Amino acid sequence: MSAPLHQFKGQHLPVCGSVEEPLYAIGSRFDTPDQLIAAVNRLIGEGYTRYGCFTPYPVHGLPEAMKLHKSILSFLVLGGGFTAILIALSMQLIPTILIYPIVVGGKPLDLSALPQYIPITVALTLMISAIVAVKGMILLGGMPRMNHPMLAWDLFSKSASRGFFLSVEAHDKKFDVAEVTELLHDLGATDLIAIHQEREENEEAGKAAK
């Protein structure tokens, strides 16, 4: 059975995605970053928590408006760096001091010999830190995700660099199609659309749940 068409001010709200699938969000486009920031502030003031912003370039003040917390990625990289240092020094010092203690020219117990361990320590630290940074970025970003419901919107997928997009997700506890659509319209959104999930996404989510 097809999903009912969404109404806004007596007219059908444009729809993208598979109408037989659940509604994902109400999408909107704004002309300026100031309008987008004002819309985010209004949404937060109204109590909405499930929304997403998509901009063609970093917008100053948007993370603060969205009240985004500092990413833990830097702490993960720092932990990876310290772990790499411990591994590198252990790999070099344990064999030369405990397993095969060969003292040549004051090495390995002389502190003046420590510079010989720096190249391997630095190389391993850079390598492990880079691996942690890339993997952390992928996992924290919810990837890999081959498709996103927003890409079903032609305006977004083909002209994402020509506007500032905001979506309010249907999973939000305050979500109501009519109220959200009217709110975004009043905030100056030039384009509004109901975004449904793609059928493939739902099938993959069902398989993953099983």
Specify if 13 maps to a domain. Answer: yes
Shared-domain flag, residues 66 and 21: yes
Picking from 122, 140, 158, the residue at the C-terminal end of a domain is 140
Shared-domain flag, residues 62 and 162: yes
Q: What is the 3-state secondary structure (H, E, C) of the chain?
A: CCCCCCEECCEECCEECCCCCCEEEEEEEECCHHHHHHHHHHHHHHCCCCEEEECCCCCCCHHHHCCCCCCCHHHHHHHHHHHHHHHHHHHHHHHHHHHCCCCECCECCCHHHHHHHHHHHHHHHHHHHHHHHHHHHHHHCCCCCCCCHHHHCHHHHHHHHHCEEEEEECCCCCCCHHHHHHHHHHCCCCEEEEEECCHHHHHHHHHHHC
Shared-domain flag, residues 153 and 60: yes
Shared-domain flag, residues 79 and 114: yes
Question: What per-residue confidence (pLDDT) applies to 2?
Answer: 41
Shared-domain flag, residues 155 and 132: no
Domain count, the chain: 2
Picking from 113, 140, 167, the residue at the C-terminal end of a domain is 140
Which residue range is the domain that position 49 belongs to? 8-70+149-209
Shared-domain flag, residues 12 and 106: no
- In tens digits, the chain (210 residues) has pLDDT values of 344 456 555 456 777 777 777 888 888 889 888 999 998 999 888 888 888 888 888 888 888 888 888 888 999 999 999 999 999 989 988 887 788 777 776 565 666 677 888 899 999 999 999 999 999 998 888 777 677 788 878 788 777 777 898 988 888 888 888 888 888 888 888 888 888 877 654 444 444 444
Picking from 96, 122, 140, the residue at the C-terminal end of a domain is 140
Specify if 200 maps to a domain. Answer: yes
Specify if 3 maps to a domain. Answer: no
Shared-domain flag, residues 124 and 155: no
Shared-domain flag, residues 55 and 84: no
Shared-domain flag, residues 49 and 93: no
